[in-house]
């Protein structure tokens, strides 16, 4: 993960945790961390492949079997590494937009 990608990833994790969510990390093949609120563990689980999906869960959501839990998340943020500039966040569900306003503004500022 490049320097700007690390800054964006850490801010995104922090903003989502501050909003009260737990986060699962899926590397495109498997879920490598499940429903964590540990900022360091979430960041450490990222970038083992060229993309990650942060699956965002509300506390009151039921926990489903591991293979189905990330598909039933409240929302998700897709990271793709190696893009030009601060564009490591490739896509996200719009229901998280207000919770991600800070990280999205930071990415825009870094691009200016």
pLDDT in tens, 78-112: 999 998 777 899 999 999 999 999 999 999 998 86
Nearest partner of 61 among 23, 96, 29, judged by Cα: 23
What is the rounded CA–CA span in Å between residue 90 and residue 92? 7
- How much is the pLDDT for 91? 95
pLDDT tens per residue, range 9-20: 999 999 999 999
- The tens digit of pLDDT for each residue in 26-60 reads 998 889 999 999 999 999 999 999 999 999 999 88
Q: What's the pTM value of the predicted model, to 2 decimals? A: 0.91
DSSP string, 2-69: -HHHHHHHHHHHHHHHHTT-EEEEE-SSSEEEEEE--HHHHHHHS-SSSEEEEEEE-TTSPPPPHHHH
Residue spans of the domains in the chain: they are 3-111
- SS3 call for 99: coil
Which residue, chain included where needed, has tokens 């970038």?
47
């Amino acid at each position: 993960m490049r320097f700007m990608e690390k800054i964006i990833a850490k801010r995104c994790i922090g903003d989502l945790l501050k909003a009260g969510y737990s986060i699962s990390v899926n590397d495109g093949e498997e879920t490598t961390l499940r429903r964590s609120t540990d900022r360091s563990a979430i960041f450490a689980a990222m970038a083992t492949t060229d993309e990650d999906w942060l699956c965002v869960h509300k506390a009151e959501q039921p926990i489903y079997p591991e293979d189905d839990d990330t598909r039933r998340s409240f929302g998700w943020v897709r990271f793709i590494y190696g893009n030009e500039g601060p564009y490591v966040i490739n896509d996200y569900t719009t229901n998280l937009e207000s919770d991600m306003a800070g990280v999205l503004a930071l990415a825009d500022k870094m691009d200016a």
